[in-house]
Amino acid sequence: MPSIRHVDPQLRRDVRLLGRLLGEVLIEQEGQALFDLEERVRRLAIQRRRGPKLERRAAASELAALLREMPLERAEPVLRAFSTYFRLANLAEQHHRIRRTREHASGGFQGQFQRGSLDAVMQSLRQAGIPASRVREMIVSMRVTLTLTAHPTQAARRTVLQKVYRLARLLEERDRGHLTPRERADTLASMREEITALWQTDELRRERPTVGDEVKNVLWYVEEVLAEQLALMPETLDWAFERAYGEPLGVLATPVRLHSWVGGDMDGNPLVTPEVLADTLRAHRARGLRALLGEVYRLGWVLTQAEPHAFVSKELRASLEKDATDLPEVMARYGSRTTGEPWRRKLRFMEARLQAALEYVEGRRAGRTEPLAPSAYRSPMEMLRDLEILERSLVDAKSRHAGLRQVRRLIARVRVMGFHLAELEARAPAEDARSAAASLEGGPAPTEGGARLLAVLQRVREAQAESGEGCCRTLILSMASTAEDVLAAFTCARKSGLWDEARGCATVDVVPLFEQLGALDDGPRVLRELFAHPEYRKHLQARGVQEVMVGYSDSGKEVGLLAASAALYRAQTALTRVAHEAGVQLRLFHGRGETVARGGGPAHEAILALPPGSVAGSYKATEQGEALDHKYARPELARRTLELVLSGVLLHSLDAQPRVAAEEETPFRAAFDELAELGRKAYRGLVWEDPNFVPFFQAATPIEEIAALPIGSRPSKRAAGGLESLRAIPWVFAWTQNRAILPGWFGVGTALEEYGSRPEGLAQLKRMYRQWPFFRTVIDNVAMVLAKSDMAIASRYAALAPDSTRPLWERIRAEYSRTRRWVKRVTGEARILESNRQLRESISLRNPYVDPMSFLQVELLRRKRAGAANIDRPLLLTLAGIAAGMRNTG
């Protein structure tokens, strides 16, 4: 491997090791000639970015010529080599993140706590003078919900990811252990074997995944990683709290909840049928029960206390007597084996109740109609009662240090996940709810979407009757814009039997999703109308909260980054105020994507940048399918992600973060609204008003090829049509592929220049950047996108477009240069990302490897559009490889 400049030595070591092993695999599997070709391509890509300008241009020309002449049979292994390298580089970076977190936790870095960690935040709260009692109250009442989604451009196969996970464990073993020479050699040999197997595995799916495949994919992260981390969260909170305040937290509860859209999101996905949703609910329950069976079985090897040596409480004895009566077959089978071991006997009864519940669910999935056995657990509350008996009995038996902690972890898990692992949510277009409600009230027959919604609500009613309301109790209305949309869904729920007569409310929460500029601005009016509706207001009083989802994706595609950011900030401020005035608790649901153009960016900073009062102990956000791997693939990454979110919510809710002075906020917001309008005009003028834009977009990006990629169950468009029907995710994916990443910055430069050129304008922008977290977050995210963009490569894609679009491309290039120039002026930095060394290193590490794939993708697009055959597979390899190299798809 060549020298990797400006990269942390430990990360450099790992990348070199993995790169060397990959080189050995390439020579063994494909021959020296292929390896030499790959090395020549890589060296040219490096030279393209280093040295004098003339030498860089010459390297770029030589690289383009080499790839242009490359036959297809050589192109594919070269592409696979670079794509595999990215997987290994991503793995090394993940491992380095974990290493840094452990060094912080071990007292490294001059004893400083890691920024955003719960340790750091608890210390900040104490130093800010916030008393322990107030922090404790906030943690008790706080609720953070992460909603997992399937990403329609999720580019990685589970088979490939599994191999990368095994490599991750080998890296950890090599890094942490004091290994003997034989053990180090064995670890290295195992790594080599995994990389060889990775090379011999097809990274492309043979067919588009089903919804069921996506359900299994998402639940893997829950079962393998998140379940344990959420069970440990009470201890993590207690540890950080006690270190800061010198007293135990005393709160054994996990404030995080997991929800999922996978299998319930009907918006634009005809494959999510009522039958699919019903089966998803049962799949959640079956997998959750199986996981709990495993946990209870393992607990049996911990709670081995025998009666002569440990006190057995009367409550536990009475519970065992009742179990023996209810489950005589279990008593007959295990009674003699567990004589004198009451805790083990109790766990055997609990296993039997879980098994009976599981057999019922599996029977229903198989089409059988046998009733639930009387001995089965009907709800998580029944299991919790048994676990709490165990907890109290262990305290009475002086077993605080002999299994109590493990029981409490299981209690935490059941409280968080119940029997379902993740609570399923349903999503449907608002127009489907209007059609369905009209048909129920004597109007015309419902549309196909309306009929599907009514059938889905029936399935939700059956599921709630079968396993409790907690399995599915949220209905999201996409593209909602009026109170009538919400009331229509409310009517559908009531008439479908999703109704609690005693409380006078529906058993689902209807959540409007405001995602376009007009809907965001009208959102406060919609809430006022809903709060004034007598029946709906009674429903809210019983439910306790009105949830509103704000969409970051479609608004950005519609009006550009600045105008969407301003509209979202205005909407959240106004929605919070309206709910407060009405005495209704509001929960804002942030529909963020992974990219900046879709509301992405560092989670901790994003939470701190939210309007004052808009969090108040409650935070809910989507977690996109493409983000799951680098946030939750390994326990340490998951723990760090959860801590960043929780610490942000704590700081915001307790008002302990830096805030702009009240007298400054009004002029700052007015200034940002001006910037937003300037940016909106520039963005709309290009994307929606220039007649050459759509032909340019279709030719200068691989958007048509993306639609053919078998990587998600959901189509790339909501319906037939042009740019307006294209989903925001493939919109951003296409611009990421051609390296322009236009949605993340276009219009920003024009707005900053026009405002900053006014008298005192630049000084005001600099003040806003220094003092206002919201503005600083927006500008920092734009800077990140600018650093990842490469307009020289994007120019090669632009050359695929008709000559008539050349002036449009020059406008784009000019705006990019303008945005870079003005972002640097506002931040005061001499170069983009000057203060973010880690991100700069990450980008510089990847660029020499992603660039050849971009060059080759341009050539493949040219050949395909000229009618060449057998282009699809190598082209799909470039799409997946560039996605891995850029670290996001959309």
3-state SS assignment for residue 337: coil
**How many Cβ atoms from other residues are within 10 Å of residue 158's Cβ?**
12
Please say whether the beta carbons of 856 and 54 come within 8 A: no
Give the burial string for 360-381 (b: 16+ CB within 10 Å, else e). Answer: bbeebeeeeeeebeebbbbebe
Residues 6 or more apart whose CB falls under 8 angstroms from that of 287 comprise 219, 223, 421
Please work out, in degrees rounded to the nearest 5, the angle formed at the alpha carbon of residue 878 by the alpha carbons of 876 and 882.
125
- Reported as type and span, the H/E element at residue 857 is helix 837-865
Structure tokens of 556?
Answer: 């950005």
Task: Measure the CA–CA gap between 486 and 519, rounded to whole angstroms.
Answer: 13
Element of type H or E holding 256: strand 256-260
Find all residues with CB under 8 Å of 247, minimum gap 6, and list them.
132, 241
Structure-token pair, residue 107: 């007292």
Hey, which residues does 726 pair with through a beta bridge? 717
Please give the positions annotated as active site: 151, 557
CB-based burial of residue 137 (10 Å sphere; 0-12 exposed, 13-18 middle, 19+ buried)?
middle
**Three-class HEC string of 124-187:** HHHHCCCCHHHHHHHHHHCEEEEEECCCCCCCCCHHHHHHHHHHHHHHHHHHHCCCCHHHHHHH
Report residue 625 as tokens: 């399918």
Token pair listed for 474: 């949220």
For residue 830, count other CB atoms closer than 10 A to its CB: 7
- The number of residues in the chain equals 890
Check the CA dihedral 585-523-644-831 and report its sign: negative
Contact 472, 464 (CB under 8 A): yes
As to burial, measured by CB atoms within 10 angstroms (0-12 exposed, 13-18 middle, 19+ buried), residue 883 is buried
Q: Which alpha helices (H) appear in 635-727, and where do they start and end? A: 635-653, 662-687, 693-700, 703-707
Nearest Cα to Cα of residue 269 among 456, 440, 548, 480: 456
Tokens found for residue 711: 């990587």
**Which residue, 363, 386, 408, 119, is CA-closest to 254?**
408
HEC string of 448-466 equals HHHHHHHHHHHHHHHHHHH
Closest CA to 410 of 389, 396, 432, 428: 389
* Cα 134 from chain centre: 30
Question: In angstroms, rounded to a whole number, what is the distance separating the alpha carbons of residues 211 and 154?
Answer: 13
Cα dihedral across residues 112, 115, 120, 124: positive or negative = positive
Q: Is the dihedral of CA 322, 327, 328, 330 positive or negative?
A: negative
Half-sphere exposure of 710 toward its Cβ, with a 13 Å CA cutoff?
12
Report the C-alpha gap between 694 and 711 in whole angstroms: 24
Neighbours of 828 (CB within 10 A): 11
The total of other beta-carbon atoms located within 10 Å of residue 438's CB is 17
Q: Angle, to 10 degrees, between the axis of helix 404-417 and the axis of helix 227-245?
A: 120
Q: Minimal CA–CA distance to 158: which of 97, 93, 210?
A: 210
Specify the DSSP class assigned to residue 208.
Answer: P
| Residues 400, 390 contacting (CB under 8 angstroms) | no
